[in-house]
Structure 1
Amino acid sequence: MSTTSPSPMPATLADLVQRLDQARQTGVREMGDATGTVPVGHYNDPVHWQREQEALFAQWPVVAAHSAELPAGSALPFDALGVPIVLTRSADGRARAFFNVCRHRGMALIAAGGPQPAQAKTCRSLVCPYHGWAYELDGRLRHRLHAESFDGLDPATLNLVELPCDEAGGLIFVKRTPGPAFSAAAFLQGLDAHMDWMGLTGMKVFRKVDHVYPANWKLTVDAFLEGYHIRVLHRDTIYPFFADAFTVNLHAGPHQDSLVARRAAFEAFEPPSSCAELCRLATPTQFVFPNTFLIWHPDYVSLIGMFSPAVDQVRWVHTMLIPPDRTGEDWTPHWEKTFRLIEQTVFQQEDIATAVAIQRGLSSGANAGLHAGRLEHELLRFHRGIDAAVEGSLSPAGNPTPARTKRTCKEGKAIESQKKL
């Protein structure tokens, strides 16, 4: 990552850095106001899972890809939301999303699935492999084989079914349900300024994995929302680089930006003027509600989507993003080694393995709920957001809506810096 930044650090991010410095100087960790308990049913109840599917994954914008994954003149299949979707970028540069379904007989236009993660396919149009119907990358029907045989079918009604899609901060968002357009920048409520300053848009894709594990999706989200576990779970891998549970959090509606202090911050603290300098002091982590993380390591970024194919399954999609000036063949061995360390060791053998073990333990009936202390307050905030979205009192815009129950959500303001919940 660049050692210089062309613009000043956003004020909200600078405030977060200042709070980290204060915690470092005083030795006082920022905590929540109270402990809490998450009911076990939130992780293993099929009824609750179905409500999440209907209220969250069917209605909220979800990160489908990094912008670099979809070059102009290409199409990328995306099925992690449980329906077949194809992302396209036509010559006008705009990212679009459609159901990956031919309007003739319902065939998939571009293949998804397979042993390797999906990659964009360079193409001028989407051509159905069944009968050859073709569509422009903007969704318009382009060609029907033997069109004269379709008497009474108006071709203007046979364009692809478009889905709401927008792009901001280097991320492509999509909703899986047709409806009105939305603004990705407005949805991020200020976090896109952080992403832009840190250079996310210019990053390139090095490697991507896409696996399903036997654990509820929220168990993996939980792990990434608190630094309390690093000292024990990651004792022999990454804890030697981190201070013990010194984390500051900034709220942006239902989203957040966090700085997890590294030991280097306690050795020498200079106000950072670039992303590289910031990543020397801490690991910035952006959480895009409901299921996406950006983790800024010292010289690369992990973009992680945690999807929910079943109540006891998480679909883990991890994309390693690297700086554009470090993409040559000389860098390949370094990135291969780095990716194996973070994905196969830290994530798979520690974080994901823990989530799988917890899921097995839930079936024992030993616990009616999972407890969280004041160092795990962001985990509790996440679950309050899930509850509010499911109950209808939190909208995808991040603003409160008229509640259908007595529960209300207090996290619907624009981006703000908070020391307590």
Structure 2
Amino acid sequence: MPVSQLERRLNLVDTTLLVIGGIIGTGVFFNTSNVAQRVHTPGLVLAVWLAGGFIAAIGALSYAELGAMMPLVGGPYAFLREGWHPIAGFLYGWTLLLVISPGGTAAVTMKFAQTLGTLVPALGSPWAVRLTGLAAVWLLTLVNYFGVKPGAIVQNIFTSGKLIALAILIVCGFALKHSPGAPSAPGPPWEGSFLTAFGAALAPVLFSYGGWQSVTWTAGEVQNPERNLPRGLLAGTLVVIAVYVSASAVYLHVLPIDAIRQTNTLATDTAVSLLGSAGATFISIAIVVSTFGFIDMTLLTAPRVFYAMGRDGFLFRAAAYVHPKHQTPVTMLIFFAAWTSIVLLAGSYDALLSYTTFGDWIFFGLVVAALFRLRRKQPDAPRPYRVWGYPWLPAIFVAASFGFVIINFVANQPQTSYGLAIIASGIPAFYVFRRFHA
């Protein structure tokens, strides 16, 4: 089999569940507390989650137009390469390789292992947590080594599991708790200006909604991508919006908003209020299922971007190697797992998150901005799907993306400066690889 070829084996169900699995990680269990610290009424908390869902839906639909137009392995790497310049695509892949994917995967893996340690005390020590995380990464690397379909099957199972767990929490919240949480204490509904407070509240929400782009990394392996990518992106994002808003409504229904602001274990507190001590175990199991599925999703999708870079001559040639039997980009799968393992052993959960979210949203904005340029640059190119509300809705997404970047940059120094330096380090690397392969 040629080293530059991957086969289209992912159907609409796989695509939709990859979108859902790429978005739902840990944020749904915690981030309503962060929102309530910035806006202080239940209505505003839900409004922030709806606004974040609206922004995510615009982004997903914009990516759907680009993915249907260019159903290529690597997704945003290809969109940036064609929409702006090869260096833009390279900087995306470079940052994804060094920071975004290994950092995000290691952070979620750490949360998986920490939560499993609460269920199995023998796995609760600091080194046991890291070893458990490493075991999860390499077990799922082995699964994905044997093909995109085995990885997708695992993804489908665990994404379905997290949806079932969240559905149980939501149904129990409304069915078992008949008196709503107490209203907030008297005081202003937000601190400072409304726009500042709402924007700060939106930051953790946008982090929670990130991940729908991951399915486009596998666009070259999606069957009938002109049809399945837009449908999967839209359906998956809408399901997540419904889940996130419903879960937040349950938290607000069950607990007083002052308690929501003060807790670091929101979903657990809610479940304990509903189910007693069994609720804590239930939420821990739900987090383990959700995070394990997320780890599988990144191992399935991210190596495809690095494979595409190697195929184009922007990484070492072995990066483009495809296993002749299993048809997976095995070199970059193993490389990515190894690099994620190093990051997991070296960093802390909070620091890794501050590295990843900043870089992610820079490229979200640039990709959707490329949609405008491609509309002008290639007006006659086949577009099986066109984003609704063009140009206004994509423009809203671009503005929101860069607004999020600015807020994150200011609030998370010096980590975000380090992230920016890593992006900039890709500029000389681009010219080195281009000269080496010339």
TM-score range, shorter chain: under 0.3
Structure number with the higher strand fraction is 1
Structure number with the higher helix fraction is 2
Larger Rg: 1
The TM-score, its normalising length taken from structure 2, stands at 0.26
Q: Which has the higher contact order (CA 8 A, sep 6+)?
A: 2
The TM-score, its normalising length taken from structure 1, stands at 0.26
